Chain A
Amino acid sequence: MRLTEDEIYRSSTQFRLWSFTPEALASLRATTNSTATQRVKAAVKRLRESRNQSETNSEAENGTSTPVIFNREPDCLTVEEEMKVVEAFCGRAIVLGNVLEFPSNVIATGVQYLRRFYLFNSPMTYEPKSIMLSAMFLANKIEDNKMECADYAARITGTTKEQVLAPEFLITQALRFTFDVRHPFRGLQGGHMEMLAIAQGKAAVLPYVEKTAAEFQQEMLELPTQPGGAATKITQRELEKRLNAATDKARDTLKSSAIQSDAYFLYTPSQIWLAAYLLADEVLALFYLSSKFPGTIDAETPTGIAKLKIVATVRACAVLLAPDPALQKLSAEEKEAKRLEEINEVKAIHVKLRHCRDPDKMDLVKLNKAQKRDAGVEGKLEESVAKRRKLEREKNEKEADEFWGPELPKNGKKA
């Protein structure tokens, strides 16, 4: 008895709950954004009203210390801006994971948690830095990479264990209690082994493919280097080198753009690794795909149509993973300028974010404690809500300034 890769994938939560069409993904994000916007506006209105009421008996607040948030209708983030912020933090999560030397599947899982979290939540509601730090810790826990939370927090500037753990529950809930993430790494490794076997004339040829292992090897040795290029004739050693190079390049793509894009939401792990391979060595990728089909197929037959469909899907995924072609053409200085421009853009979004944060969800540590306390003595929480909120507000203003501060290890590479 044996299950096919597809049967297994189809029963996974990644497919059942976290796969979308591009349209569904867009509409989900739009809903999340508009819900958050409404909430921020309502919360600000509520606060403004309660402030007006308590103004007379509270200490005078002068104009400068009054948060902007009180004085006008908040200018909320758009979907695009939200995505830019989340993307920026995915990038930082990868850097963090690399510096702390997490295994690549831990990093990839953590980044996916972050992306999944922000499908249903807005950065206006939950500030991405704390969510990112907590999601990365959770990924270590889930992927059985043993680590004490205190050690982790100690290696991140300005972060306490309490801060790391506070959003854990929130994240668990937002992930809809599904924690398994299917990565393309293993598929790539498997594909690499298969291709090596072909190169060595030891291919396990599928029963319906009318070709011998030797013929496959011969064909592979004669593959052009570029699509449409002239046939070559290289040695087996050179071919193996080519395979290794392609796999290394594809793996880099899987560790970067594959986890930083919507690829996991839109494509299966096999499609993703094949796309990454296509970007690394198109000729080899297409040759590998063809090796799964009968040598001569009519494009009109179901098999022919299926083959075309796969190639089209893999190519579409490759577009998502590929570096921006416009960026490729730029000179080094232009690239640097573009990079700075992007950083500034994200910084600007962040400044905007400071003024449209949901005031109810700012301090996650406190919120977490309050919820636990709430559960114990329901209703005993009314002590001077306004005063507490004011303190929280001030603290958050201060924290927001440190928002973009470094979170990377204080003390070098190793703890």
Chain B
Amino acid sequence: MALSPIDSPKPVPAAAKALPAKAKALTILNASTSSPSNASTPSSEGPQDLSEQLNEQVRRNYVTGSRLGEGTYAIVYSGHLRHDPTSLVAIKKLKVNKDYLDGLAPDAFREVRALQELSHPNIIKLYAVFSTRDQNLNIVLEHLPRGDIEGLMQNKSVSYGPADVKAWANMLAKAVWFCHENSILHRDIKGNNLLIAADGEVKLADFGLARTFSDPYRPMTYNVITRFYRPPELLYGARYYGGAVDVWSMGCVIAELVLRHFFLVSNTDIEQIDAITDVFGSCTEDVWPGVSRLDHYIPPAKDNIKRPKPMIYWKQHFGMLGDDGIEYLKSMFVLDPRKRATARQVLDHPYWTNNPKPTPKELLPQAAGGVEKMAEDLKRRGGEIEEGDGRADKVARKLNFADLKR
């Protein structure tokens, strides 16, 4: 335990504190408790209660505009503050989910819960949450107009180099580190969920699969993380896991940035294991003690134990990162999750301070942008589909492979 109580905060009423803009909208609740009756608007069901009034106030602050994109559980619209059309936001509205009939979708709760607790320059900001009359949740997020990392990686008209990759990777690493420090697992890290702000800052978004890992004794679902980014322990059905799963995904994103195409590609979960072992060698008790006890573990045939790719492979494909960069990248791909680097260790790596220095965010290359590009983006994102039955343990997002091969 830290020396927590020493300077631990003396409780102050929330309304009395100066709060960042992020929390303002939500704090209206407290601020107006002194005059709750004057805002009431009687409806056919009698006057609104306090929470309803305050919700209404928040809702009135925003105007929803055109559609920006669509994800697994929500549609994202652009929007702005009612009194200031130049201050843009993104408004994420839940889709009606016919498969989940137990009230509001867990994805929305996961996302809101996580983002309410996280305030970091590399994590998408949550400005407010409000509901509309149809009892739909609207999540007001910071507006991130410059596409995502996956788009950059695939857009051959954008050229970038080692210092740029270092800058993007560093922002990603900081976001993951911050989540983990706050005991939050993201569980869907991929280029497509790393959005880019107007000033070039990379922001981790889409916390629809996030959860806290505060209770190490409770099993979790292994069916998370988009397949290409899913670490071997989840493919083997591990139900107890930690930050190492996100670190693996982070490694995949960085590798993709270097390669300029997806790194570990397959059509099925079983094949994904092959894609991984082709590069990193077979998962055996020797390299990963305990692996054979995982539910879905399939031992490699005795005569077919794969060896990890030699250094020459790394130099050929990832030479852009330099020797230090190759070393730190490989540390994220250690098969045994207990030996894999933690987000904290990744951030402590000398790679970041060695030359070349990361490009300042304002100078980072960017996609040409424009309406056509956005339309193209939309089509590409349509490749993401949700598994049909909406059950809480089938939450892993899948990639529609046909679409990706275009």
Q: Is B182 an interface residue (CB 8 A)?
A: yes
Which residues 18-70 of B sit at the A interface, judged by CB distance below 8 A?
Answer: 19, 23, 26-27, 29-30, 33-34, 36-37, 43-47, 49-52, 54-55
Least distance between B372 CB and chain A CB atoms (Å): 36
Q: Which B89-144 residues sit within 8 Å CB-CB of chain A?
A: 101-104, 106, 109, 112-113, 116-119, 129, 131-135, 137
Instruction: Decide if A253 is an interface residue (CB 8 Å cutoff).
Output: no
Q: Give bound CA distance, A186 to B34, whole Å.
A: 37
Q: Is the CB of B218 within 8 A of A306?
A: no
Q: Is the CB of B43 within 8 A of A374?
A: yes
Total cross-chain contacts (CB, 8 A)? 207
**A180-B113 in contact given A174-B51, A270-B5, A360-B45 (Cβ < 8 Å):** yes
Residue B388 at the A interface, CB < 8 A? no
What residue in chain A is nearest B6 (Cβ atoms)? A306
Is A178 located at the chain interface by the 8 A CB criterion?
yes
Q: Tell me the interface secondary structure of chain B in the complex.
A: loop
Instruction: Considering the complex, give the chain B residue whose CB is closest to the CB of A170.
Output: B51
Q: Given A6-B9, A20-B11, are A39 and B47 neighbors across the interface (CB < 8 Å)?
A: yes
When the two chains form their complex, are residues A38 and B37 in contact, meaning their CB atoms are under 8 A apart? Answer: yes
A43–B46 CB distance below 8 A: yes
Task: Write out the residue numbers on chain B whose beta carbons fall within 8 Å of the beta carbon of A137.
Answer: 103
Given contacts A19-B14, A20-B11, A39-B47, contact A375 B218 (CB under 8 A): no
Residue in chain B with minimal CB distance to A317: B5
Q: Is A2 a contact partner of B135 (Cβ separation < 8 A)? A: no
Look across to chain B and name the residue whose beta carbon is closest to the beta carbon of A7.
B181
State which of B8, B132, B392 has its C-beta within 8 Å of the C-beta of A270: B8
Chain B 1-16 near chain A by CB (<8 Å), digits 1 or 0: 1111111111111101
Closest B residue to A177 using CB positions: B129
B212 CB–A CB distance under 8 Å: yes
Chain A 8-40 residues near chain B, CB threshold 8 A: 8-13, 15-21, 24, 28, 31-32, 35, 38-39
Would you give the shortest CB distance from A259 to chain B, in whole angstroms? 16
A172-B181 contact given A31-B33, A177-B129, A180-B212, CB 8 Å threshold: no
- The contact of A375 among B101, B134, B182, by CB within 8 Å, is B134
Assembled-state Cα–Cα distance A16/B118 (Å): 12
Do the beta carbons of A19 and B113 come within 8 Å of each other?
no
Distance in Å from the Cβ of A181 to the closest Cβ of chain B?
10
Nearest CB to that of A270 among chain B residues?
B4
Contact B9 A15 (CB under 8 A): yes
Query: Which residues of chain B are within 8 angstroms of A309 by Cβ–Cβ distance?
Result: 6
List A residues 345-376 near B (Cβ within 8 Å). 358-361, 367-368, 370-372, 374-376
What sequence of 0s and 1s flags, for each residue 326-361 of chain B, a beta carbon within 8 Å of any chain A beta carbon?
A: 000000000000000000100110000000000000
| Any B CB within 8 A of the CB of A287 | no
Total interface residues on B, CB under 8 Å, equals 71
Binds B, one of A139-147, A227-235, A244-252, A318-326: A139-147
Tell me whether B393 is interfacial, beta carbon within 8 Å: yes
Contact B132 A375 (CB under 8 A): yes
Cα separation A178 to B118 with both chains bound (whole Å): 12
B304 interface contact, C-beta 8 A: no
- Given A13-B117, A17-B26, A177-B116: A141 touches B51 (CB 8 Å cut-off): no
* Nearest A-chain residue to B126, judged by Cβ: A177
B236 within 8 Å of A (CB atoms): no
Contacts known (A179-B109, A371-B135); A5 close to B103, Cβ less than 8 A: no
B125 CB, min distance to chain A CBs, angstroms: 13
Chain A 369-409 residues near chain B, CB threshold 8 A: 370-372, 374-376, 378, 381-382, 385
> Is the CB–CB distance between B13 and A24 below 8 Å?
yes
Query: Would you call B51 and A313 a contact (CB within 8 A)?
Result: no
> Cβ of A254 < 8 Å from any Cβ of B?
no
Contact between B131 and A173, CB atoms less than 8 A apart: yes
In the complex, B215 has a CB within 8 A of chain A: yes
CA distance A138 to B348 in the complex (A): 39
B181 touches A374 (CB 8 A): no
Bound-state Cα–Cα, A125 to B50, Å: 11
Q: Is A415 an interface residue (CB 8 A)?
A: no
The one of B12, B27, B119, B211 that contacts A144, using a Cβ cutoff of 8 Å: B211
Contacts of B116 in A (CB 8 A): 13, 177-180
Is the Cβ of B6 less than 8 Å from the Cβ of A146?
A: no
Q: Does A327 contact B (CB under 8 A)?
A: no
B52 near A19 (CB under 8 angstroms)? no
Q: Say whether B29 contacts A374, CB under 8 Å.
A: no
Tell me whether B77 is interfacial, beta carbon within 8 Å.
no
Given contacts A17-B26, A270-B4, contact A10 B134 (CB under 8 A): no
**Chain B contacts for A187, CB-based, 8 A:** 1, 4
Q: Does B228 contact A (CB under 8 A)?
A: no
Contact partner of B7 among A17, A306, A374, CB < 8 A? A306
Among the listed B8, B17, B34, B55, which residue makes an inter-chain contact with A16, where contact means beta carbons less than 8 Å apart? Answer: B17
Q: State A178–B279 Cα separation when bound (angstroms).
A: 43
Is A121 at the interface (CB under 8 A from chain B)?
yes
**A310–B26 contact, CB under 8 A?**
no
Using known A-B contacts A39-B47, A179-B113, determine if residue A28 contacts B33 with beta carbons closer than 8 Å. Answer: yes
Where the two chains meet, the residues of B that have a C-beta atom closer than 8 Å to any C-beta of A are 1-14, 16-17, 19, 23, 26-27, 29-30, 33-34, 36-37, 43-47, 49-52, 54-55, 101-104, 106, 109, 112-113, 116-119, 129, 131-135, 137, 177-178, 181-182, 211-212, 214-215, 218, 220, 344, 347-348, 392-393
Give 7 closest A-B pairs by Cβ, nearest first: A360-B46, A375-B133, A24-B13, A177-B129, A375-B134, A5-B2, A19-B11
Q: List 22 A-B contacts (CB under 8 A).
A: A2-B344, A4-B4, A6-B9, A11-B117, A11-B182, A19-B9, A24-B13, A121-B50, A165-B103, A168-B103, A169-B135, A173-B131, A176-B54, A179-B113, A179-B116, A268-B8, A268-B9, A360-B46, A367-B45, A370-B44, A371-B45, A371-B135
